[in-house]
Each structure stands twice: as C-alpha cells, then as structure tokens.
Amino acid sequence: LLLLVLCCPTPLTAVAVTGPGLVTVEHGSSLEVSCSYRPRYKLNSKYWCRKNFLFCLSYIIQTDGTEVTVTRDRVSIRDNHTANSFTVTLSSVTPEDAGHYACGVKRKLRRNPGHSIKVM
C-alpha cells in the first residue's frame, strides 16, 4: 500500500475532519484510510462516501457513533474514540474503485463536514 499525502495537513482546530488527499493502491490489495476528527465529534456517526467534486453521491458505510466495527461487502469502518480517528478499509481493490471519496462526521441539523480523498 502506497500512501501519498498532498500538501499540508490542516490543524484539527480549524476543520472537523482531516486525512490524506490522495491514496494510491495496487489492484487486488487492500486500501486503508485513516481520518481524524475534532474531539467534540467523538460520539457522532462517521462515514465514507463516494462523491463527485462537491457532494457525496452515495454513503458507502457509516458507524453508529460507537467503536464497533461495521462491515458491508468489501468495506469496513472502525472508530477509535481515544485517538479521535476512524479507519476505512476496502479489500480486493479493483480499477472501478478509483475515484473521489470523502470521510466525515454526521451532524444533526447541520452540514456533514467531510474530507475529500482521491483514490488511484
């Protein structure tokens, strides 16, 4: 797994979620992406979605706000409240998995902040 981060990480005090900007993964291997969040969002649901350049087109997987690992098909997500981060794993990556994604936190009555990631 080769992980490339573009530019400079933004301090957690400025944004709700941070993570890598670009992830490169080989066909057939597993993709693992970790995203960090501000401590105030510890109990919020975390998500991984496929997106166009601006919006999530579909939410692929999300937590329920606990640290229980959620698995759906080839994708799993696990939150770590102590580290204020969550990890998304996609197994058996195919060329069709390349594209734009976002990791983020769900908030009630407000926009869900997300961090954009390009998977190649």
110 has a pLDDT exceeding 50: yes
Q: For the chain, give every domain's residue range.
A: 19-119
Among the CATH numbers 1.20.1060.10, 3.90.650.10, 1.10.443.10, 2.60.40.10, which is that of 19-119? Answer: 2.60.40.10
Q: What is the mean pLDDT of residues 4-29?
A: 73
**What would the pLDDT profile of 24-81 be if each residue is shown by its tens digit?**
999 999 999 999 999 999 999 999 999 987 889 889 999 999 999 999 999 999 999 9
Whole-prediction pTM = 0.85
63 neighbors 46 (Cβ within 8 angstroms): yes
Q: Look at residues 33, 36, 31 and name the one whose alpha carbon lies nearest to residue 16.
A: 36
- Ranges of H-type helices in the chain: none
Q: What is the mean pLDDT of residues 100-117?
A: 88
